[in-house]
Amino acid sequence: MQTYFQKGLGLKAEVAPLLDRDYGSNVIGRIKELGYAAQAGGLTIRLAREFGFCYGVDRAIEYAYEAKKRFPDRRLFLSGEIIHNPSVNQNLRDMGFTILEDGRVPETRYSQVAKDDVVVLPAFGVTVDEMKHLRGIGAVLVDTTCGSVLNVWKNVSKYARDGFTVVIHGKHYHEETRATASQALLHPGGAYLCVRDEAETQVVCDFVRGMLNRDAFMERFSQAVSEGFDPETHLERIGLANQTTMLMSESLRVQEMLRRAYLEKYGAAELPVRFRSFDTICTATQDRQDAVLRMFEETPPDVMLVIGGYNSSNTQALVRICSSRCPTYYVESPECIDPLTGALTHRTLGSSSSETIMDWLSSSSGGRLTLGVTAGASTPDSVVARSIERILAARGAGTADLRGILDAA
């Protein structure tokens, strides 16, 4: 009996209507037909040209639905959230999936899983140790790891094979980064270091330049390095990779900061054998970032709404781009918008709590307000549509009132 599925379960056509029912939206289709811009309720609503579900997320959810269809009588598990979107994960719970708690020890994390149970692995991937443990149990594995992540793993493996320490621009606690880092350890002497941002990168650069001692370095990165990491040895040669959902502009700055430090330390002739890098931001992440940048260049909104899970890195990157250009509000679900009063419960980056505000869509000029809308790669069209519906309801309008810009003029 086949126990490992990486290319679906052959039931795509059968689950397609269910996926469209749960995650599609005629409202979004209507706004797209109107040129990604529509007016109603005293608002001009502009959608980013690229937003919401990417191919990898579509594929992950499709495989989960196929698993349910193929194994209706088996126990179904998700090794953590399949993607970082609360409505999608709740929907899978309602379908009978048990979402396992995050954890570093496979024996603990998968203690509920027995032989012949079905475990769906998330789009972020799982660590080498987790995969080995699950195969040992004899569970049926449905692997939805995104192709972009797999591409990073291949390059990280090459770095480690060639004796380069892998430096990952990403959050060391994120599922994807942990899975990626584990690939470096497949090779003898493999090691990794995770840097979250430019501030942490600067610490690495200071060490390379001899401005920081070993103890200070290890105190800063004790949770973000491989076991036995020694910066005096492991930072002699590095290969740079990224968590695929990070902000591209920041990843490029991280890369340049490290390249310059190694250039100064070792000189141009030595640089190729000391420093390697490649672009590992996924295409979908970059497309969504580029789309909001184009929106601000072409038709700058007065206010921006970004929709996505609060633990979604690619959604956070969109918030960072938008918030530097106009008032930006970050919401996790349509329920953050009160359809009666218009009150908005939103969260600022870096905060672990939300706040509720009124009049976030008021115009000081009294004219029509332009609201820009985008969503992270884990956010379905249905969630974006319901968010728009609740905004319009609070303004005494409905989606049937949506008109094109020229039609409403």
Question: Binning pLDDT at 50, 70 and 90, where does residue 407 land?
Answer: low
Segment 232-236 mean pLDDT: 97
Specify whether 289 is located in the same domain as 402.
yes
Question: Binning pLDDT at 50, 70 and 90, where does residue 285 land?
Answer: confident
Of 104, 128, 145, the last residue of a domain is: 145
Buried-exposed string 211-247: b where 16+ CB fall within 10 A, e elsewhere: ebeeeebeebbeebbbeebebeebbbbbbbbbbbbbb
CA angle 312, 60, 194 (to 5 degrees): 45
- Tell me if 9 is assigned to some domain: no
- Tell me if 373 is assigned to some domain: yes
Query: Of 183, 244, 181, which Cα lies nearest the Cα of 55?
Result: 244
Q: Where are the beta strands (DSSP E) in 234-359?
A: 238-242, 275-277, 303-307, 328-331, 344-346, 355-357
The count of other CB atoms within 10 Å of the CB of residue 139 is: 23
Specify whether 157 is located in the same domain as 266.
yes
Specify whether 377 is located in the same domain as 295.
yes
- Tell me if 249 is assigned to some domain: yes
Specify whether 217 is located in the same domain as 266.
yes
CATH number, domain containing residue 250: 3.40.1010.20
Question: Binning pLDDT at 50, 70 and 90, where does residue 409 land?
Answer: very low
Specify whether 239 is located in the same domain as 356.
no
Does pLDDT of 374 surpass 80?
yes
- Tell me if 128 is assigned to some domain: yes
pLDDT, tens digit, 9 for 90 and up, residues 140-165: 999 999 999 999 999 999 999 999 99
- Tell me if 331 is assigned to some domain: yes
Specify whether 245 is located in the same domain as 322.
no
Buried-exposed string 24-43: b where 16+ CB fall within 10 A, e elsewhere: bbebbeebeebebbbbbbeb
- pLDDT score recorded for residue 278: 76
Specify whether 43 is located in the same domain as 60.
no
Segment 17-35 mean pLDDT: 96
Segment 94-118 mean pLDDT: 94
CB 46 within 8 A of CB 88: no
Q: What residues contact 72, with CB distance under 8 A and at least 6 apart? A: none
Q: Measured between alpha carbons, how far is 170 from 34 in angstroms, rounded to an integer?
A: 38
CB 343 within 8 A of CB 400: no
CB 191 within 8 A of CB 229: yes
Torsion of CA 203, 207, 210, 213, to 10 degrees: 100
Specify whether 206 is located in the same domain as 273.
yes
Of 145, 173, 194, the last residue of a domain is: 145
| 355-357 and 344-346 beta bridge pairing | antiparallel
Domain of residue 139: give its range. 55-145
Q: Judge if pTM exceeds 0.85.
A: yes
Specify whether 63 is located in the same domain as 32.
no
In residues, how long is the chain? Answer: 409
- Tell me if 17 is assigned to some domain: no
Q: Measured between alpha carbons, how far is 355 from 125 in angstroms, rounded to an integer?
A: 33
Segment 197-225 mean pLDDT: 97
Widest Cα–Cα separation across the chain: 67
What would you report as the CA-atom Rg of the chain, rounded to the nearest whole angstrom? 23
Question: Binning pLDDT at 50, 70 and 90, where does residue 363 land?
Answer: low
Specify whether 140 is located in the same domain as 219.
no
Of 252, 277, 302, the last residue of a domain is: 277
Among 107-116, 260-269, 357-366, the minimum mean pLDDT is found in 357-366
Does pLDDT of 236 surpass 80?
yes
Specify whether 135 is located in the same domain as 253.
no
Q: Measured between alpha carbons, how far is 289 from 39 in angstroms, rounded to an integer?
A: 24
Tokens of 341: 């009063």
User: What is the distance between the terminal CA atoms of the chain, rounded to a whole angstrom?
Assistant: 63
Question: Binning pLDDT at 50, 70 and 90, where does residue 283 land?
Answer: confident
Distances (CA, A) of 328 to 41, 228, 346: 20, 43, 10
Distances (CA, A) of 206 to 232, 265, 363, 381, 401: 13, 11, 47, 45, 58
Question: Binning pLDDT at 50, 70 and 90, where does residue 209 land?
Answer: very high
Q: Measured between alpha carbons, how far is 204 from 261 in angstroms, rounded to an integer?
A: 9
Q: Is 62 marked active-site?
A: no
- pLDDT score recorded for residue 367: 66
The count of other CB atoms within 10 Å of the CB of residue 9 is: 20
Query: Of 145, 148, 99, 154, which Cα lies nearest the Cα of 123?
Result: 145
Amino acid at 86: P
Mean pLDDT of the chain: 94
Buried-exposed string 269-279: b where 16+ CB fall within 10 A, e elsewhere: eeeeebbbbee
Among 149-163, 233-247, 279-293, the minimum mean pLDDT is found in 279-293
Options 81, 176, 250, 389, the catalytic residue: 176
Does pLDDT of 247 surpass 90?
no
CA angle 272, 275, 276 (to 5 degrees): 90
Element (H, E) at 369: strand 369-375
Segment 215-241 mean pLDDT: 97
pLDDT, tens digit, 9 for 90 and up, residues 343-355: 999 999 989 999 9
Specify whether 269 is located in the same domain as 331.
no
- Tell me if 377 is assigned to some domain: yes
The domain tally of the chain equals 3
Segment 256-282 mean pLDDT: 92
Distances (CA, A) of 330 to 36, 111, 274: 20, 36, 41
- Tell me if 1 is assigned to some domain: no
Does pLDDT of 366 surpass 70?
no
